[in-house]
Amino acid sequence: METPVKTKTVEQRQNVVILFAGDSGDGIQLTGAQFTDTNALFGNDVSTFPNFPAEIRAPQGTLAGVSGYQLHFGSVEIFTPGDQCDVLVVMNAAALKANLNKLKKGGTIIANTDGFDKKNLRLAGFIDEVDPLTDGSLANFHLHSVDVTKLTRTALEGTTLGMKEKDRCKNMFVLGFINWMYSRENALTEGFLRKKFSKKPDVLDANLKALIAGYNYGETSETFTTRFEVKAAPMPKGTYRSITGNQGTALGLIAGAQKAKLDLFYGSYPITPASDILHELSRHKNFGVLTFQAEDEIAAIGSAIGASYGGALGVTASSGPGIALKTEAMGLAFMLEIPLVIVNVQRGGPSTGLPTRTEQADLWQAVHGRNGEAPIPVIAASTPIDCFDMAFEAVQIALEHMTPVILLTDGYIANGSEPWRFPAAKDLPEIKPNFIPSVTSGSAETKPFLPYQRDERGVRPWALPGQAGLQHRIGGIEKQDKTGNISYDPANHELMVRLRAEKVAKIADRYKPIRLDSGPEQGELLIVGWGSTYGAIRTAALQLQGEGQSVAHVHIRHLFPFNKGLGPLLKKYKKVLVPEMNSGQMRQLLRAEFLVDAQGLNKIQGMPFTSEVIRAAALNLLKQ
Amino acid sequence: MSTTNGISTPPVTPSAAEGKVDFSSDQEVRWCPGCGDYSILKQVQTLLEQSGKKKEEVVFISGIGCSSRFPYYLDTYGLHSIHGRAPALVSGLRSVRPDLSVWMITGDGDALSIGGNHIIHLLRRNLDVNVLLFNNEIYGLTKGQYSPTSPEGAVTRSTPMGSTDHPFNPLALVKGADATFIARSMDRDPKHMREVLARADAHRGTSLVEIYQNCNVFNDGAFEVFTEKASKAGHTIFVEHGKPLVFANGTRGIKLNGMTPVVVDTYAGGTSLEDLWIHDERDSFKASILVRLFDDPRQEGAMPRPFGVFYVNDRATHESKLSAQVALAKERKGPGDLDALLKGEHTWTIG
């Protein structure tokens, strides 16, 4: 081991936001994920935000091709991937241009100089190909220019790989360097690489060499005199893993099916950003999971309805445009009163919109978007971990109340990850589908089976094909009360519309009492959020409370029907603020339902809120 | 006679005791008087009664249209779904319940227009379902618009100057989608229909039976050239496996000149029966030609329209492959361990 050239100092940091950015082929997502895992393993709390282009391989060096991975890690509790970055690692000029506005004043830039040649500058749109690394325009930042490409190639001299393959190891050099900078070890990534490249020893060797070279570069380079340290966070004791929202949704669905002792049938059509649920589920066939990649979105939900009719847990997922296609079949499932879970991983809309960006603009679609009176319960997840809990709850509601259920997540939490102190299987509640025993031929009396005879919750029995004595016919046509036979009787139609709505309304009886996320039980301002804005609102609310403001935060999990405690809660504050990544859809629902003068804070940029924007809006409203 | 808690219960119903189960439901059948659907319903009921199936193991799923009311009239499990989507529903049902006898009832609009995308995928996947495609070449339930099987020039309520659409040849489409059982029958030939339906039911895979069905209200007589005694013999050909293609009371036949079918005389001095096209329902290439015998019967020299079982293939069903994967996954990884799943591959411990 070489002796360090200079003594390096170590500075403590409470929390750090780092953004890795480069071409979509630079291995940015992998680098970010590895550094995340390393920090999580160390004991930091973490929150991530991967942000990648819609194109698989957009033209190299262009702004369109920039892929980013933002990580917020700390020795304190972390709720968001961070408003602004402390450190920006850029592999080329386009990555700098696309992300410089996210860097704090005085923040650190680590730039790969090889990505700032004339061609890269031109592609990134730097006028006259002026190099920002040398023209002084970055004087407000701590700039470190490193020729990553050259250093990586030097480190890999003597290996058998071609130049192109050597250059692919650049990301490992960067990761090794960042590990050094934040006083982390390479061990986790070394293990990862050994597994990933177990059958390609030369590639493994090169990646390991680049990783170590990056680390040693930090150690020996004279330009870097300071290392940072972020101590472990006071996380609750226990065993953790990392989980993304889409993984959480998939695992929640499987856990739900297992707790109901049912097979899970997942009908789906590939769509960004929901496809990872299909990928995850298809790996777990040994849990009785059947995945069906249908010919289109309609067939995806249709097959799931068919599977539910047969006694499995039918599930389908998509994103906005795909959900639009499923609408008619959602009406059928509602009319049949059959269990079904529909997941909408929302993205920017309308139409094709912004496939890889996030939005909360499908709320009205979920609550209102069907022909006729077809209320379907709608619930929303607020964090990657919460995707697990809400997917499980969606299964509970669907099976125990014989209804389709819509679960809203979005691209932000679907791809984001956080450490999860996962539950033990035994601690998850059993789910009891509303089955009915078969009628054997020896029964005392043979009353005709009534498929729409409801219990006190308004729920009908689930009779499965194959069960003797329970043969019945159901369909999308209006049906007679109790028998399910076709009926066009006017009074019966009104009765059925009311019975179906009452059944869904009664689902609110099962909710736990509503609970504030933070803040006083009554006061000046209540911030009402739902879905993925949770972390930003929580951060802002805690800060405002710390500043002595009378601000509380409630996060709505049940969007339809609402929690019965929500109305009374809203009345306990003088003002209500509803931050949403849409034009005010929840605000309008709250106004319509509770006659409350809720004010909106709306962002429709395909990007999540920063907590600072929410804090400022709250302060502004408090002043009025 | 069985006894539960000392209470004696009546014996099983007389009809069941006789071994005959009545598959008709208590619902009044509401098709127009004279509709061809009645005949199909009767043959299906008869087939089910003779099949020895239990009522509870039979499921009928339909889409939308006149024919799709079918499930309500049978005392089995039934689901009247939405327009064109029955193939999706049966795919899901069959995937999770390979133990059931699943039937799909559809029409020319339901299967070939709004559900066209679904039917082809059902066929290529080959789920074990009996599909009865009632073809009446018209939209009945919406009161008389042309359908994707209406002939070009058809004058209907939506085409007062005649349809400009070229129609589908349904069985050619079905063959193109790699169906494993392809057959055609007609409402006016109950015996033939029953035989074809029995074959369809016995086939493991998607069995598609096109049934020419007369809509006596909006398209009366669409198939009368095939169904009426006077013209039937000269315009239809009933194919049987291993037998030559003959029609017109045995006086005429079809011969293959290379890939081209030609009509020949079979009486003395004509073509001998051995030289005729011998029907082989396992021959995919010949089946592709057979489905193309689709001339407009009003044209001079039109080829006869074939009926019967055109093609059979024993390709594995989709659901068998799905359950094999589940079984293999269980064998390799063991039955699902939820704790292991929640734990995942990498964990760390704090405290």
Listed residue (A580, A588, A589) closest to A561, CA to CA: A589
Q: What is the ipTM of this complex?
A: 0.94
Q: How far apart are CA A144 and CA A111, in angstroms?
A: 6
Burial class for A251, CB neighbours closer than 10 Å (0-12, 13-18, 19+) = buried
CA B338 to chain A, closest CA, distance in angstroms equals: 6
pLDDT band, very low/low/confident/very high, at A280 (cuts 50, 70, 90): very high
What strand order describes the sheet that includes A66-74?
A45-51, A66-74, A15-23, A85-90, A103-112, A142-146
In this prediction, residue A489 carries a pLDDT of 98
Query: What DSSP line would sit under A237-264, residue for residue?
Result: SEEEEEEEHHHHHHHHHHHHHHHTT--E
More confident residue, A72 or B271: A72
Tell me the average pLDDT across A295-316.
98
CA B28 to chain A, closest CA, distance in angstroms equals: 11
Residue A438 C-alpha from the chain's centroid: 42
Let me know: does A492 contact A478? Beta carbons within 8 Å.
yes
Interface test with A, best of B77, B339, B343 (most A CBs within 10 A): B77
Q: Which residues fall within 8 angstroms of residue B257, CB to CB, at 6 or more apart?
A: none
In this prediction, residue B4 carries a pLDDT of 34
Q: Find chain B residues with C-beta within 8 A of A263's C-beta.
A: 96
* Yes or no, beta carbons of A314 and B92 under 8 Å apart: yes
In this prediction, residue A440 carries a pLDDT of 78
Q: Find chain B residues with C-beta within 8 A of A477's C-beta.
A: 80
Residues A310-323 have pLDDT tens digits of 999 999 999 999 99
In this prediction, residue B350 carries a pLDDT of 84
What CATH class has B20-230? Answer: alpha beta
CA A205 to chain B, closest CA, distance in angstroms equals: 23
Residue with tokens 């509803």: A578
Radius of gyration of chain B from its Cα atoms, rounded to whole angstroms: 24
Residues B148-158 have pLDDT tens digits of 999 999 999 99
CA B332 to chain A, closest CA, distance in angstroms equals: 8
Tokens representing A40 are 């999580």
**Residue of chain B nearest A313, judged by CA positions:** B96
A70 beta partners? A19, A49
Nearest to A288 among B9, B118, B336 (CB): B336
Nearest to B9 among A254, A295, A443 (CB): A443
Q: What are the Cα distances from residue B25, in Å, to A523, B17, B129?
A: 64, 19, 22
* Yes or no, beta carbons of A284 and B27 under 8 Å apart: no
CA A582 to chain B, closest CA, distance in angstroms equals: 32
In this prediction, residue B11 carries a pLDDT of 39
Q: How far apart are CA B43 and CA B185, in angstroms?
A: 12
Q: How far apart are CA A460 and CA B28, in angstroms?
A: 25
Number of Cα atoms under 13 Å in the Cβ half of residue A178: 31
Radius of gyration of chain A from its Cα atoms, rounded to whole angstroms: 27
Query: What DSSP line would sit under A71-93, residue for residue?
Result: EEEESS---SS-SSEEEEEESSH
In this prediction, residue A420 carries a pLDDT of 96
A289 beta partners? A264
Residues A521-554 have pLDDT tens digits of 999 999 999 999 999 999 999 999 999 999 999 9
Tell me the average pLDDT across A354-375.
96
* Yes or no, beta carbons of A302 and B57 under 8 Å apart: no
- SS3 (DSSP) at A50: strand
pTM to 2 decimal places? 0.93
Let me know: does B180 contact B205? Beta carbons within 8 Å.
yes
**All domains of chain A, ordered by start, with CATH?**
11-229 (3.40.920.10), 242-427 (3.40.50.970), 434-439+447-510 (no CATH), 523-623 (3.40.50.920)
Mutual angle of helices A245-259 and A275-282, in 10-degree steps: 50
In this prediction, residue A300 carries a pLDDT of 98
Q: Find chain A residues with C-beta within 8 A of B336's C-beta.
A: 254, 258, 284, 286-288
pLDDT band, very low/low/confident/very high, at A58 (cuts 50, 70, 90): confident
Let me know: does A333 contact A258? Beta carbons within 8 Å.
no
Nearest to B80 among A255, A300, A477 (CB): A477
Let me know: does A339 contact A313? Beta carbons within 8 Å.
yes
Q: How far apart are CA A53 and CA A28, in angstroms?
A: 12
CA B122 to chain A, closest CA, distance in angstroms equals: 9
Residues A393-437 have pLDDT tens digits of 999 999 999 999 999 999 999 999 999 999 999 999 999 999 999
Q: How far apart are CA B243 and CA B274, in angstroms?
A: 9
* Yes or no, beta carbons of A304 and B92 under 8 Å apart: yes
In this prediction, residue B267 carries a pLDDT of 83
Nearest to B92 among A41, A302, A425 (CB): A302
Nearest to B89 among A263, A302, A468 (CB): A302
Region of B84 please: left (phi>0), alpha (psi -120 to 50) or beta: left
**Portion 108-167 of B in contact with A at CB < 8 A:** 117-118, 121
Tell me the average pLDDT across A435-451.
80
Q: How far apart are CA A50 and CA A69, in angstroms?
A: 4
CA B286 to chain A, closest CA, distance in angstroms equals: 29
Does the pLDDT at position A257 exceed 70? yes
Burial class for A347, CB neighbours closer than 10 Å (0-12, 13-18, 19+) = buried
Residue with tokens 């035989």: B195
Interface test with B, best of A189, A473, A478 (most B CBs within 10 A): A473
Residues A35-50 have pLDDT tens digits of 999 999 899 999 999 9
Tokens representing A73 are 């890690």
Tell me the average pLDDT across A337-345.
98
Q: How far apart are the first and last CA of chain B?
A: 67
The torsion defined by the Cα of A572, A577, A583 and A588, in degrees rounded to 10, comes to 10
Note whether B80 contacts A: Cβ–Cβ < 8 A: yes
Nearest to B342 among A308, A425, A469 (CB): A425
Residues A129-184 have pLDDT tens digits of 899 999 999 999 999 999 999 999 999 998 889 999 999 999 999 999 999 999 99
Q: Find chain B residues with C-beta within 8 A of A428's C-beta.
A: 338
Q: Which residues fall within 8 angstroms of residue B146, CB to CB, at 6 or more apart?
A: B138, B139, B154, B156, B158, B159, B163, B165
Q: Which residues fall within 8 angstroms of residue B16, CB to CB, at 6 or more apart?
A: A441
pLDDT band, very low/low/confident/very high, at B345 (cuts 50, 70, 90): confident
Q: How many CB pairs under 8 A join A and B?
A: 224
Let me know: does A304 contact B92? Beta carbons within 8 Å.
yes
Tokens representing A426 are 């035994």
Let me know: does A347 contact A356? Beta carbons within 8 Å.
yes
**Count of CB atoms situated within 10 Å of the CB of B310:** 27
What strand order describes the sheet that includes A313-318?
A289-293, A264-268, A313-318, A340-346, A404-410, A378-380, A558-560
| DSSP one-letter code for B278 | B
Note whether B91 contacts A: Cβ–Cβ < 8 A: yes
Ordered by start, the domain boundaries in chain B are 20-230
Tell me the average pLDDT across A346-375.
96
Tokens representing A136 are 């002084």
Tell me the average pLDDT across B132-158.
96
Do β-strands B246-247 and B348-350 pair in parallel, antiparallel, or remain unpaired? unpaired
CA B274 to chain A, closest CA, distance in angstroms equals: 45
In this prediction, residue A444 carries a pLDDT of 55
Let me know: does B272 contact B236? Beta carbons within 8 Å.
no
* Yes or no, beta carbons of A306 and B93 under 8 Å apart: yes
Nearest to B326 among A288, A428, A444 (CB): A288
**Portion 209-228 of B in contact with A at CB < 8 A:** none
Tell me the average pLDDT across B255-260.
95
Q: How far apart are CA B2 and CA A441, in angstroms?
A: 10
* Yes or no, beta carbons of A465 and B336 under 8 Å apart: no
pLDDT band, very low/low/confident/very high, at B16 (cuts 50, 70, 90): very low
B311 beta partners? B182
Does the pLDDT at position A2 exceed 80? no
- SS3 (DSSP) at A286: helix
Mean pLDDT, chain A, integer: 95
Sign of CA pseudo-dihedral A587, A588, A590, A595: positive
Least confident of A89-98, B34-43, B264-273: B264-273
In this prediction, residue A448 carries a pLDDT of 87
Nearest to A303 among B91, B332, B344 (CB): B91
Length of chain B: 351
Q: How far apart are CA B35 and CA B66, in angstroms?
A: 10
Q: Find chain B residues with C-beta within 8 A of A249's C-beta.
A: none
Q: Find chain B residues with C-beta within 8 A of A37's C-beta.
A: 346
B249 beta partners? none
In this prediction, residue B19 carries a pLDDT of 55
In this prediction, residue A55 carries a pLDDT of 76
Let me know: does B86 contact B110? Beta carbons within 8 Å.
yes
E strands, A303-426, in order: 313-318, 340-346, 378-380, 404-410, 417-420
Let me know: does A50 contact A29? Beta carbons within 8 Å.
yes
Does the pLDDT at position B98 exceed 80? yes
In this prediction, residue B157 carries a pLDDT of 95
